[in-house]
Structure 1
Amino acid sequence: MKKRILVLGGAHLDRRGRIAGETTAGASNPGSWREDVGGGAFNVARNLARLGHVVELVSPRGGDAAGEKVATAALEAGIEDRPFVFLDRATPSYTAILEGDGNLVIALADMALYDLFTPRRLRVRSLREAIGRADLIVCDGNLPAATLAALAAEARRHGVPVAGIAISPAKVIRFRDALPCVDCLFMNTAEALVLAGPSPEADLSWPDLLRPLGLESGVVTSGAGQIVAFAGDETFALQPPPVSDISDVTGAGDALAAGTLDALLHGCPLPDALVSGVAASRITLASPYAVAPELDRDLLRSAAARVVSPAAVT
């Protein structure tokens, strides 16, 4: 069952260097380099398109070769690309250095162009119409705080659910004012800590800290550790099965969000949807790409069969 999904946020050049041996700080390290198109919003958009949905993408872009690469990648993914193009600006980029096992060492995000996606952009007629016809809106923390708040409020007026992708500890705080109108926010423990304030005594306490902020539903991941999710007054915990063949961690969280949202769109309750999300994440972890090219509904269903359902927490 196809749904129409409007995705707003990061779509940019994604550079990843992988160190070949042991990491030596402050020195030259042998390794390899890969350049692709990425961004939290764009990764979610591509995953949802691979699962058969009709996806529209709105993202600021520069008038340069990197912007053309983003446009080409969107076309190849079957996404309806509707960018705001700033001809005199450079397209944003994300540069990451990874350990030999795929874990992140450090990253540099050159994202200043996204600050130009101000709330007034939401008044463009074509975008207002896109919001009104969507079955789901997905946005990420690359957008300014005022834009996220205005977007979530506009979606609420149209009765369209909104899902948020935190992106990073530095950016998740931009969702703070939008939370009462956000239906589900995907974040990791570092991002949840910035948003909620003091660290909980146990991971299962995250919902108690996030609900008072107005958030109706959320998913908090911790790498290979336990995932805590909540919807309304219910809380669930899931321990992802180990992945022995990790190729690259980039995009795994975006895949988890996309897999979960796909299942929610098909009417699954959050616990069952989270199983689908973990399955999508496992497929991505085993791929050298931020979006696994082999992802489809049959593979997702097969991978989900190997994930244990979440346990309700009382």
Structure 2
Amino acid sequence: MPDPLDLLVIGECVADIVRLPDGDVHVHPGGSPANVAHGLARLGHAVTLLTQLGPDDRGRLIRSHLTEAGVEVRTDGSAAPTPSAVVTLDREGRAAYAFEIAWTLAPVAPERPPHHVHTGSIATVTDPGAATVLAAVESLRTFATVSYDPNVRPALMGDHDAAVRRVEHCVALSDVVRASDEDLEWLYPGEEPETVARRWLGRGPAVVLVTRGGDGALAVLPGGRVTVDAFATDVVDTVGAGDAFMSGTLHALAAHGLLGPDGRERLRTADRSTVADVLRHAAACAAVTVARAGANPPDAAELRAALARDRSRRRDTPGPAVRHP
């Protein structure tokens, strides 16, 4: 059962306007932090999203989507239009993005102290709102664990060197970091993802996770590394896959008692078997999400079913799905 931790997600909501290869267009609620909050609520957690939503049809769509899942939505009262992203999918389900986004988040005090804070993506690199986000994280991390996902969007990152500095600052504030291999290639062209992950680990996090699409995921922690294969699934589209992975990560970390002020030190000494279990939960969440349209993460029952299917598959397939080199 999910723990009673209060989880706070700070970041943007975005209306994803998805253009399919056959010419059809669909509008889905999105935005990386909003997707993480939605995924956590679907898994049974108490989660608040601090964000901006415009008084428009897209804002109402997103708010309804989040609250129906159980997310408590708080805003700063801004009347700016709800941000949007045009997502063009190729015939393999890969997504390319074009954005219309303003991020001007003003300070909003939490109604109650959270046990864990998650942030990332556009919210941490787009001024003036990014300054509000970073100030909040710096204040809250004194009594809450922190997770971060840069979720790089090159068109919105601005000057490359400045973006790298900001990402590294966020990494240093965090206990758990996830990045895709594509994120790391943009930030550090030509470097091996594991090399970057190990360097980031030295900046302060307890664990750095690297997702590699169909090649699975890697966790780097002080005690070594753990890898997990991607779950077998038929890909419909990849929208929200990384966010579902992040939700699954936090869900499993919470179940192991590794979030919150009492979990920080345990997280730093987590063994590889525990991290492997976290990776399996995260990979299962991503697999369910990519098998259907839009950022549509699993609920707790769907996650259990995906894990059971994978256990059955691994019993029937020689060789380990999780490795501890």
TM-score category of the 2 structures, normalised to the smaller one: 0.7 to 0.9
Q: Residue 240 of structure 1 aligns with which residue? A: 230
Q: Residue 23 of structure 1 aligns with which residue? A: none
Q: Distance in 1 between matches of 2:153 and 2:27?
A: 24
- Per the TM alignment, residue 90 of structure 1 is displaced from its structure 2 partner at its CA by 1.2
- TM-score, normalization by structure 1: 0.83
SS at match of 1:264: helix
- Per the TM alignment, residue 33 of structure 1 is displaced from its structure 2 partner at its CA by 0.8
- Per the TM alignment, residue 262 of structure 1 is displaced from its structure 2 partner at its CA by 0.1
Residue number among 198, 209, 221 corresponding to 1:219 in the alignment: 209
Q: Residue 240 of structure 2 aligns with which residue? A: 251
Q: Residue 65 of structure 2 aligns with which residue? A: 73
1:156 corresponds to which letter in structure 2?
R
Residue number among 93, 105, 108 corresponding to 1:117 in the alignment: 105
Residue number among 37, 41, 57 corresponding to 2:33 in the alignment: 41
Q: Distance in 2 between matches of 1:46 and 1:149?
A: 22
After superposition, the CA RMSD in angstroms is 2.2
Kindly provide the CA deviation profile for residues 129-176 of structure 1, in whole angstroms up to 9, marking residues without a partner as x: 44x2x2221112222453443233212212x11111222153574332
Which 5+ residue runs of structure 1 have no aligned equivalent?
A: 21-30
Compare 260-269 and 139-148 and name the one that shifted more. Answer: 139-148
> Do structure 1's residue 263 and structure 2's residue 252 form an aligned pair?
yes
1:117–1:144: 8 Å Cα contact kept in structure 2?
no
Q: Residue 139 of structure 1 aligns with which residue? A: 119
Q: 1:142 to 1:237 in 2, by over 3 A?
A: same
Q: Distance in 2 between matches of 1:233 and 1:86?
A: 45
Q: 1:102 to 1:95 in 2, by over 3 A?
A: same
Q: Residue 55 of structure 1 aligns with which residue? A: 47
Q: Residue 149 of structure 2 aligns with which residue? A: 165
> Do structure 1's residue 290 and structure 2's residue 295 form an aligned pair?
yes
Kindly provide the CA deviation profile for residues 205-238 of structure 1, in whole angstroms up to 9, marking residues without a partner as x: 3433322343332111122124221223421122
> Do structure 1's residue 93 and structure 2's residue 84 form an aligned pair?
yes
Q: Residue 317 of structure 2 aligns with which residue? A: none
Q: Residue 150 of structure 1 aligns with which residue? A: 135
Q: Residue 323 of structure 2 aligns with which residue? A: 311
- TM-score, normalization by structure 2: 0.80
SS at match of 1:272: helix
2:7 corresponds to which letter in structure 1?
I
Q: How many residues align?
A: 285
2:7–2:117: 8 Å Cα contact kept in structure 1?
yes
Q: 1:264 to 1:70 in 2, by over 3 A?
A: same
Q: Residue 6 of structure 1 aligns with which residue? A: 8
Q: Residue 25 of structure 1 aligns with which residue? A: none
Q: Distance in 1 between matches of 2:43 and 2:285?
A: 11
1:41 corresponds to which letter in structure 2?
P
Q: Distance in 2 between matches of 1:34 and 1:177?
A: 36
1:291 corresponds to which letter in structure 2?
N
2:150–2:179: 8 Å Cα contact kept in structure 1?
yes
How many percent identity over aligned positions?
25
Which 5+ residue runs of structure 2 have no aligned equivalent?
A: 126-130, 158-162, 258-273, 312-319
SS at match of 2:276: helix
- Per the TM alignment, residue 194 of structure 1 is displaced from its structure 2 partner at its CA by 4.1
2:88 corresponds to which letter in structure 1?
I
